[in-house]
Structure 1
Amino acid sequence: HILGPLDLTHAPSLVYPPSRAPLVATVHDLGVVKYPSTFPVHWRLFHRQGLRLILERARVILVDSESTRQDLRSLNGRRDPRVRVVPLGVEDPPQIAEESVHGVLAKHGLKPGYLLFVGTIEPRKNLSRLVQAYASLSWEDKMKTGELVLVGPRGWLGRWELSRVLSQDGVRWLGYLPREELEAVFRGAGIFVYPSLHEGFGLPVLEAMARGIPVITSRTSALRDIGEGAALTVDPEDVMEIRNALRRLASDGELRHRLAEWGRERAAQYPWKRTVELTLRGYMDAMG
């Protein structure tokens, strides 16, 4: 009643909107279906219901990756012509002065060349296995990798996750950082590591690649699509494989250089302009 008649409704998540207008819905991932134990019960129930309504009523369904399209196909048991892949994008990194980087690193007591993770602190991000892998490194290896620095807000069970991972020497949590500080912390990293159990896209990986930071990530879900050929990929449930990837990349400067270059090339393949164009095309198709 406030907005008046609508020509189109876009649900940007699994929250079904109460509207009779033609519906376009974005399904970012099916983590709540594939890894239900990493979400709270009420979240699972709410989003499963939202997914059911979207699959019943949406005219066009946008997904971030081919991986999510295949997950939907497996869930439905058939190919759905309403589903379109609309990859997200990454912006060119902003310019930042060297003295600004040094100032932010000094503020947080960071020495350049550390391992960096950026994301919400929650079970799906698989930080417990990452920290196990880091803790199993020798002292000599840790001198090469530097500290393991975690950046991001607490999510579901975040306090419990942090109580486990911060008990290990060399693991730091900076919490949520404003964009300017986050940029500086990105620039100080030697390796970016993101062994998430399941992602519909994996934007932090592309953001690290765009900045020329060599990446270790999972060879599962959409992370496989982004990472293969441009990052070291691992089985996120294999602690020893994560450990070996950390050791290998920290010890091989030539490999780090190659991955930095390949990562920049991969990130350049994901402009936001394409995201906008494909989304608008979905709107037009939904309105007939």
Structure 2
Amino acid sequence: MLYINGKFTSQKITGVQRFARSLVCALDAFLFSICDKNHVPKVILLCPIGASPPKLKYINVEYSGSLISGHLWEQLVLPFASRRGILINFSGSAPIFKMGQICAIHDAAIYDHPTAYTKLFRLWYSVLFRILGKTSKLILTVSEFSKCRLQKFINVSEEDISVLYNGSGHITGVISDVNVLQKFGINAKEYIFAVGSLNPTKNLSNLLTAFKEISEKLNVTLVVAGGCNTSVFQSNFDSSSPFERVKFIGYIPDEELKALYENALAFVFPSTYEGFGIPPLEAMECGCPVIASNLASIPEVCGDAAYYFDPLDIASITEAIEEIIANSKLREKLVIKGFERVAFFDWNHTAKKLFNDLKKIGVL
């Protein structure tokens, strides 16, 4: 019996939840396509009561627990509910006392950038990751960069860690809600778009400093979407009173997100640290040219489809923004390169890679 940790089905969709939901859907479609010709064990997505799982054809959905949700559900209810089989965890955490698990750890940020997180969050995950590195049947991660960093910090061997890239395509079927432009007073093709939480590694402070230097001479706005979980991130960043020409619009649904990608002059991704970084691919998929940081996993993901800058150098960020605004040929080139790049990242290929990994370790 194979179980999947469905805690992500009760959470807002950010990076790790996007990975979990999209991969489960792709795995479900793949298993459904081969189940008549191959022996495939029963797979169950275990969800908290009140969760909203995706519609699935092969994978069964079961609900467990009652009043308990979130981390308590994962630590107390899930191990018992999955006691008869192997448990796969896609969204970055897992039950600490469950044996026979497969766990996705998306990055090593708590080790590489510990000050970005609260002490409690950092303590819990540093202990959890080290235990999972020793007890899991397989560790999954989302880039070669993350694989390298995790091998350093949790002592997982080469054969016990596998890279499963995020895919693209999840935003293709979303219907754009262009009303978001009027909702926030934004003019199409007159803004630079950014997506990210207030995690210090998202580097919004440097982006704002760079943008402030050019905002007075260029008729463009900076629009920033994303939330902030203060129980996780240790941030002194204040988005409540940004200067003129900057709009912080908070967490938005996919319909509005897609519309903002499609109508932006360009997308900027200034992170100093990413395990993968899905937003640049989403922007490329929507025909939005991308300028991005040259650090961590970002060049691995974006390849030659982004115009890079040094996120620690204000002048470099400023020059990149000015260039993307002024150079229409560069924007056109990046749009074409972006469409080519996203074709490389496919959830169906990722699901097949996972299936082969599971067969290799004897789970399937």
User: Structures share a fold, TM > 0.5?
Assistant: yes
| Residue 139 (structure 1) aligns with | 216
- Give me the CA root mean square deviation: 2.2
Contact 1:149 1:174 in 2 (8 A): yes
Residue 105 of structure 1 corresponds to 181
Corresponding letter in the other structure for 1:72: L
SS of the residue aligned with 1:172? strand
What is the CA distance between 1:228 and its match in structure 2?
A: 3.1
Looking at structure 1, the residues matched to 303 and 362 of structure 2 have their Cα atoms a distance apart, in angstroms, of 37
Structure 1 residues without counterparts, runs of 5 or longer: none
CA shift for structure 1 position 281? 2.4
Larger helix proportion, structure 1 or 2?
1
2: CA distance, partners of 1:53 / 1:239: 40
Query: What is aligned with 2:358?
Result: 283
295, 319, 326: which one pairs with 1:220?
A: 295
Cα distance, 1:138 vs. partner? 5.5
Q: State the partner residue of 1:54.
A: 132
2:173 aligns with: 94
Q: Secondary structure at the match of 2:275?
A: coil
AA matched with 2:164: V
Residues 93-120 of structure 1: CA deviation (Å, up to 9, x unaligned): 23647xx52x331121101121101122
Deviation, structure 1 residue 79: 4.9
CA contact (8 A) 2:174 2:255 kept: no
Structure 1 counterpart of 2:207, from 130, 139, 154: 130
1:136 match: secondary structure: helix
Letter in 2 for 1:275: T
User: Residue 184 and residue 138 in structure 1: after superposition, are their counterparts in 2 closer, same or farther (change >3 A)?
Assistant: closer
How big is the shift at 1:55? 1.1
Matched residue SS, 1:50:
helix
Distance 1:4 1:267 in 2: 35
Q: 1:24, 1:282 within 8 Å by CA — same for their partners in 2?
A: no
More deviation in 78-87 or 47-56?
78-87
Q: Distance in 1 between matches of 2:316 and 2:246?
A: 19
Identity of aligned residues (%): 28
- Structure 2: 5+ residue stretches without partners: 1-78
The answer to whether the Cα contact below 8 Å between 2:94 and 2:103 also exists between their aligned partners in 1 is no
- Is the Cα contact below 8 Å between 1:218 and 1:235 reproduced in 2? yes
Paired amino acid for 1:121:
L
The answer (yes or no) to whether the contact 1:192–1:213 under 8 Å persists in 2 is yes
Shift, 1:80, TM fit: 2.2
How much does 1:5 deviate? 3.5
Asked if the contact 2:324/2:330 (under 8 Å) is kept, the reply is: yes
Q: Secondary structure at the match of 1:187?
A: helix
Aligned-partner Cα distance in 2 for 1:159–1:79: 34
Q: Which amino acid aligns with 2:331?
A: R
Return the offset for 1:19.
1.7
Q: Which amino acid aligns with 2:323?
A: R
| Cα distance in 1 for residues equivalent to 2:360 and 2:87 | 13
- Contact kept, 8 Å, 2:193 with 2:267, in 1: the verdict is yes
By relative contact order (CA 8 Å, sep 6+), the higher-ranking structure is: 1
2:229 to 136, 146, 155: 155
Q: Which one of 93, 102, 106 corresponds to residue 28 of structure 1?
A: 106
- Give a deviation string over 1:9-39, Cα, whole Å, max 9, x none: 123314344223x221111001111111111
Report the 3-state secondary structure (helix = DSSP H, G, I; strand = E; otherwise coil) of the residue aligned with 1:81: helix
Whole-Å Cα distance in 1 between the matches of residues 101 and 239 of structure 2? 42
Stretch moving more, 247-256 or 223-232: 223-232
Q: 2:340 aligns with which of 265, 269, 274?
A: 265
Change (3 A) 1:138 1:108: closer
Aligned residue pair count: 280
Q: Residue 134 of structure 2 contacts residue 156 of structure 2 at CA under 8 Å; is this kept in 1?
A: no
